[in-house]
Amino acid sequence: MLRNLFAAAVALVPLLVPGLARAKPAITKVKAGTVIVHKGTVDDGTPPKASKEHEKTVAPKKPKAPPSASVGSPSSGKLENGVRFEDEPAARFTPSYGTSDVRYGTSEIVALVHGAAKSVAKQYPGSVLNVGQFSKPGGGDVDRHASHESGRDVDLPFYIKDGSGKPYLAGGFVPFRSDGTTTLYKGLHFDDARNWALVAALLRSPHAHVSHIFVADPQRNAVLAYGKAHGADPDLLARAAGLMVQPTGVLPHDDHFHVRIACPSGDGKCVENPAPSRRAKKHPKAKGGKTGKAHGGSGATHTAGKGVTKVATKAPAKPVEAEETTTEESSAEDPLEKLLSPQVEGLGSIHMGAKRD
């Protein structure tokens, strides 16, 4: 009797509690290879579908850009797969060049400039390096330059400070006198400290080996004097003294450093130095009988900063024109040679007013 009543009660439970008959056990242990039930779900061996919020879209890998290559020499060459110089907080392309596309170089020289500018900014917070022309995207002839053809040259305008010693960022190239004052603006000065820091950073860079720094003698001497006075490494000073030179047959680079790097490793078609020129050293005048302006915008086109008064300057002295002879025929008998820095091959053929460095 009691057994029958218990059986009947068990049979009525699914009717009194809806859904109980369909419920699955929370965890059921069964033999391997059979269906495993976990918390009311069935695992039939198929991988679970990822929820949409966890789905990741893998972008296709971009093809690796071919390496840049400097082909030929700085004065007769081209650039393959050039790297474009992009503005960064510590370095910018000089505004005076506007939309010029002469901002390509080998990967080595672009990395050199960015790295050196960051080094100066680390020592002197807030410093920004103006950067002039490199080469065209494919290299070749650049207006008013006798080099910059193979991606291994760049012009770097000087760091400048105002009368209180604070950094001043000009809109372009600013030439300086031998006493460190500018011929364009009153109250601005050649910044010995930051310009030495720049030279030191260029020479210490792991990105490229600097082979030449063309600059006017007064600025060269100021930079070296600052380095020596502030305990610079003697070996570094000696190297800087050997690499910095005022080129002959060209305007004196008193508004920028012209930096050239050696042929990058692996550039089999790169020619280290330009061939000796046999072109006449006489420097014809530009159209209209006037000497061309330096670097497409320096000089009268610079805009003075707030609170800076522009200084009226005299017209530059007429460049001395050598006789119609070749560079080889021009000898030490020329008295002007004693006043010039050592001859650098490939630069003696530069035409004043028509081409720059």
DSSP string across 181-246: BBSSBTT-EE-HHHHHHHHHHHHH-SS--EEEEE--HHHHHHHHHHHHHTT--HHHHHHHHHHEEP
**What is the model's pLDDT at position 160?**
97
Q: Are 295 and 155 in contact (CB under 8 A)?
A: yes
Query: CA 313, CA 209: separation in Å to the nearest integer?
Result: 38
Q: What is the pLDDT of residue 151?
A: 95
Q: In terms of Cα–Cα distance, which of 213, 215, 207, 211 is closest to 270?
A: 211
Q: What is the pLDDT of residue 57?
A: 67
pLDDT tens per residue, the chain (357 residues)?
556 655 666 566 555 555 554 545 454 454 555 444 444 555 556 666 655 555 566 667 777 778 999 999 999 999 999 999 999 999 999 999 988 999 999 999 999 999 999 999 999 999 999 999 999 999 999 988 889 999 999 999 999 999 999 999 999 999 999 999 998 888 999 999 999 999 999 999 999 999 999 999 999 999 999 999 999 999 999 999 999 999 887 778 999 999 999 999 888 899 998 776 544 333 333 333 333 333 433 332 333 333 333 333 333 333 333 222 333 333 333 332 333 334 444 343 232 233 445
Looking at the domain 69-339, which fold is it? Muramoyl-pentapeptide Carboxypeptidase; domain 2 (3.30.1380)
Domain layout of the chain by residue ranges: 2-45, 69-339
What is the reported pLDDT for 255? Answer: 94
